[in-house]
């Protein structure tokens, strides 16, 4: 009988061991899933009717779904800079869309979200899209050690591609080295002139499996014309259809390798940025063409990640945050029929504009946070900015920030945990050209700027106007009525507040 009792106790220990990570690891794991070009209206849990995202919907139903969450910018590099540093991108003059051979944008002595978790004893990783530059001022050495990079700004492990899927070099980097690099086939990259003898989309359009416009017609890789020219590294070049799976596999391996210690993973998935080339099993699964298909692929990836946490019994002790770097764009350089097939779909939901622009559709995004048994499921209307993650998690992890650290980040941890509805009082955002907007108490002011009102190729509104713009988002979330002439004192008030924020010193 005693032996039987010992066996039962032992089996219970083995079975229950996976459920006791909280006793072995009192700190919750944190996974930040950062989508690319995903709009507020691209998920069924945010009102989409022409496409369904059951896995992300499940994440939302088990957590807190925000309706007034923003990226700092309506384009990728500045948003990624800001979410990792807690600093508005306009403070860094280089924080605009970077070429694939740009040097590292984040100073290595700057506090980052990754460093916050490192100081708290977490194992940290970035997996997926980087696009914040690599290497020293003169640019990266693709055939040697590519540093400084993610490892120098807060990540113990990194598996990334350098910029965007439509930019060269189309290679993976694991920490400081290109995966499958070959010294006999050295890589050269240029954004000024053609290098090497690889065919280009401009010269040989018949080789393309997806037509592209001027600017996306340089070196052809995997039948796709890219931005920029590349030679060499033929073994190292990835395949578009495999991107999602490769990043997912790396994410799952990182989680499994660190399942007994606290970890932070910045999982910057490549969906749904152009070129939209999903894995074959997702092609034709939506009514919206390849853009809809990669949304389905993205939803699958999120579902797989959630199943991995379930399998490893990490779900209850893991905070998952899901958001996007900027608003949606349909026509962004490739002929994938996104415009023609999206007539009934509103990728920005009820908001005006999208990627590149100043209106809400460019920066108001899906934002979901789940922590089972700690965050009560529901909806939050609190105003938050992705820059707030640095100060919030620094407070949560009890890591002090210096006076130069995360200067624009606010500690909204109680809001993120659903304990408060008191979000930001003021929010600042910028568009592709660095023009700023500011929101306070539902009033939104956009700086005057001379420029085209519409980007012709993308058919997107920029928000540019030579006159000040003022909108009341409470009564007019679609920003259809410019009230600047009716409320000049409000324009002046917000203009002065924005000037004060712009002049705030970082050192």
For the segment 5-60, what is each residue's pLDDT rounded down to a tens digit?
Answer: 444 444 444 434 434 444 445 799 999 999 999 999 999 999 999 999 999 999 99
Helix (H) or strand (E) holding 366: strand 364-370
pLDDT in the model for residue 458: 63
Tens-digit pLDDT profile for residues 347-391: 999 999 999 999 999 999 999 999 998 999 999 999 999 999 999
Other residues' Cβ atoms within 10 Å of the Cβ of residue 465: 18
Report the distance separating Cα 120 and Cα 208, nearest Å.
48
> What tokens does 83 get?
């979410």
pLDDT band at 451 (very low <50, low <70, confident <90, very high): confident
Sign of CA dihedral 170, 189, 99, 254: positive
pLDDT in the model for residue 17: 40
pLDDT in the model for residue 403: 92
Tens-digit pLDDT profile for residues 282-324: 999 999 999 999 999 999 999 999 999 999 999 999 999 999 9
Tens-digit pLDDT profile for residues 236-267: 999 999 999 999 999 999 999 999 999 999 99
The helix/strand/coil state of 380 is strand
pLDDT band at 505 (very low <50, low <70, confident <90, very high): low
Q: Is residue 90 scored above 60 in pLDDT?
A: yes
Using alpha carbons, select from 112, 181, 193, 188 the residue that is nearest to residue 151: 112
pTM of the complete model: 0.94
pLDDT in the model for residue 329: 96
pLDDT in the model for residue 347: 98
The helix/strand/coil state of 96 is coil
pLDDT in the model for residue 214: 79
pLDDT in the model for residue 213: 85
Question: What residue segments make up the domains of the chain, in order of their start?
Answer: 27-187+232-421, 428-502
Q: What burial class does residue 275 get, using C-beta atoms within 10 Å of its C-beta: 0-12 exposed, 13-18 middle, 19+ buried?
A: buried
pLDDT in the model for residue 373: 87
CATH classification of 27-187+232-421, choosing from 3.40.720.10, 3.30.70.141, 3.40.50.150, 2.40.50.100? 3.40.720.10
Using alpha carbons, select from 325, 301, 161 the residue that is nearest to residue 237: 161
What is the average pLDDT across 190-216? 95
Q: Identify whether the C-beta of residue 82 lies closer than 8 Å to the C-beta of residue 386.
A: yes
Q: Is residue 410 scored above 60 in pLDDT?
A: yes
pLDDT in the model for residue 25: 54
DSSP, res 295? H
The helix/strand/coil state of 124 is strand
Q: If you average pLDDT over every residue of the chain, what do you get? A: 94
Q: Is residue 129 scored above 80 in pLDDT?
A: yes
Top pLDDT among 459 and 2 is at 459
Q: Is residue 504 scored above 90 in pLDDT?
A: no
Architecture of domain 428-502: 2-Layer Sandwich (3.30)
């Amino acid at each position: 009988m005693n032996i039987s009792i010992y066996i039962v106790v032992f089996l219970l220990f083995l079975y229950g061991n996976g459920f006791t990570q909280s006793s072995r690891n009192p700190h919750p794991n944190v996974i930040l899933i950062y989508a690319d070009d995903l709009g507020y209206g691209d998920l069924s849990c945010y009102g989409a009717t022409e496409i369904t995202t059951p896995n992300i919907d499940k994440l939302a139903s088990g957590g807190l779904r925000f309706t007034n969450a923003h990226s700092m910018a309506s384009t990728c590099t500045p948003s990624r800079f800001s979410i990792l540093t807690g600093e508005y991108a306009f403070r860094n003059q280089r924080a605009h869309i970077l070429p694939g051979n740009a040097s590292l944008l984040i100073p290595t002595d700057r506090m980052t979200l990754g460093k916050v978790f490192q100081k708290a004893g977490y194992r940290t990783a970035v997996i997926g899209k980087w696009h914040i530059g690599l290497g020293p001022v003169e640019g990266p050495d693709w055939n040697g050690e590519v540093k400084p990079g993610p490892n120098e700004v807060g990540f113990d492990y990194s598996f990334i591609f350098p910029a965007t899927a439509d930019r060269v070099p189309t290679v993976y980097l694991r920490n400081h080295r290109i995966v499958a690099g070959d010294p006999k086939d050295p890589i050269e990259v240029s954004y000024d002139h053609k290098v090497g003898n690889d065919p280009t989309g401009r010269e040989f359009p018949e080789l393309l499996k997806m037509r592209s416009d001027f600017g996306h017609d340089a070196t052809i890789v995997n039948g796709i014309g890219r931005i920029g020219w590349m030679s060499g590294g033929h073994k190292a070049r990835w395949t578009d259809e495999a991107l999602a799976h490769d990043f997912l596999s790396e994410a799952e391996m990182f989680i499994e390798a660190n399942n007994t210690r606290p970890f932070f993973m910045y999982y910057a998935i490549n969906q749904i940025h152009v070129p939209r080339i999903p894995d074959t099993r997702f092609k034709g699964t939506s009514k919206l063409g390849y853009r809809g298909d990669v949304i389905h692929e993205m939803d699958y990836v999120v579902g797989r990640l959630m199943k991995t946490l379930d399998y490893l019994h990490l779900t209850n002790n893991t905070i998952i945050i899901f958001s996007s770097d900027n608003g949606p764009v349909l026509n962004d350089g490739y002929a994938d029929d996104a415009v023609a097939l999206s007539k009934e779909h509103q990728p920005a939901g009820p908001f005006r504009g999208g990627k590149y622009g100043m209106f809400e559709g460019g920066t108001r995004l899906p934002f979901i946070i789940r922590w089972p048994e700690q965050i009560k499921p529901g909806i939050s209307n609190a105003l938050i900015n992705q820059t707030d993650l640095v100060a919030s998690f620094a407070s949560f992890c009890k890591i002090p920030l210096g006076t130069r650290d995360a200067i624009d980040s606010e500690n909204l941890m109680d809001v993120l945990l659903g304990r408060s509805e008191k979000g930001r009082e003021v929010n600042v955002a910028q568009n592709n050209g660095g023009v700023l907007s500011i929101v306070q108490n539902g009033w939104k002011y956009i700086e005057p700027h001379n420029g085209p009102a519409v980007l012709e190729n993308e058919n997107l509104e920029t928000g540019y106007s030579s006159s000040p713009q003022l909108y009341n988002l409470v009564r007019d979330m679609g920003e259809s009525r410019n009230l600047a002439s009716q409320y000049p004192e409000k324009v002046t008030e917000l203009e002065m507040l924005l000037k004060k924020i712009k002049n705030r010193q970082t050192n």
